[in-house]
Amino acid sequence: MSKSEYTMIEAGDVESWSAETAEADVVIIGLGCAGICAAISAREAGADVLVFERASGGGGVTGLAAGHLYLGGGTRVQKAVGVEDTSDDMFTYLMMNTPEPDETKIRLYCDESVEHFDWLVERGVPFNDTMYKGKHVLQMTDECLIWSGNEEVYPFREKAKPAPRGHKVAQVGELGGAKMMECLQAKAASSMTPRSTGSSARTAGSSASAIASTGRKKAASVRARVSFSPQVSSRQTTTC
């Protein structure tokens, strides 16, 4: 794997800061699904947020995906179509199906799976209370629940009660991921505004954009600082 060109440096290692320096409680690099969810959560918690994206807009890999999320433990959709599921069965299946499982992370993911689903719904991501009855890697309809894994296959079925857990965003065809990003970015836009980063683009040698919170800055003992000048590459984020 090649070494990333993006690095983090200590604030004390910077000889000087230009006047064109931005500070925030939280700085997020990349406006994909993880980045936009982190930005929304941080802003809802009252933090100042800066999100940088090299492309002309957000989306990332999620924006090109079909929009399936592996969720279980009794989501609204599972209950609506009569599927019984528990976080324990989901945990057992994922532990068996993962080559090098991190038990702590998988346990947390399963225990909070319903909460993850509800969080997305509350922020405008739509899911229909329907199920695709066939077995396929991708349903071309806007039906939601699908057997996306091997839950019914031996030996998994012997240890955990099988349940369909693939949840597709309510979108016909292959653009569910784009639909999810559209909804999340609309939610983010309600509390953040675009900020031009032209000088950052010149320093990084690529296009870049940022979203900045419009809220009043709060005092914080730990903040992040990003420089847009040649003195500190925009690919370097410092903590101070």
Question: Cβ atoms within 10 A of the Cβ of 35, count?
Answer: 21
pLDDT at residue 237 in the model = 34
**Taking the domains of the chain in order of start, what are their residue ranges?**
7-62+180-239, 67-174
List the 68-70 sheet strands across, edge first.
68-70, 166-168, 145-146
Given a cut of 90, whether residue 205 has pLDDT beyond it is no
Number of CB atoms found within 10 A of residue 227's CB: 22
CB 53, CB 209: distance < 8 Å: yes
| Closest C-alpha to 117, from 240, 20, 109, 208 | 109
Has this prediction a pTM greater than 0.85? no
CA 236, CA 154: separation in Å to the nearest integer?
A: 48
Reported as a single tens digit per residue, the pLDDT across 129-154 is 999 988 888 999 999 999 999 999 99
List the one residue out of 234, 224, 236, 237 whose CA is nearest residue 201: 234
| pLDDT number for residue 10 | 76
Lookup: tokens for 12 = 């004390």
Query: Can you spell out the DSSP letters for 143-157?
Result: --EE--S-TTSTTHH
Closest-CA residue to 49 (of 227, 183, 171, 210): 210
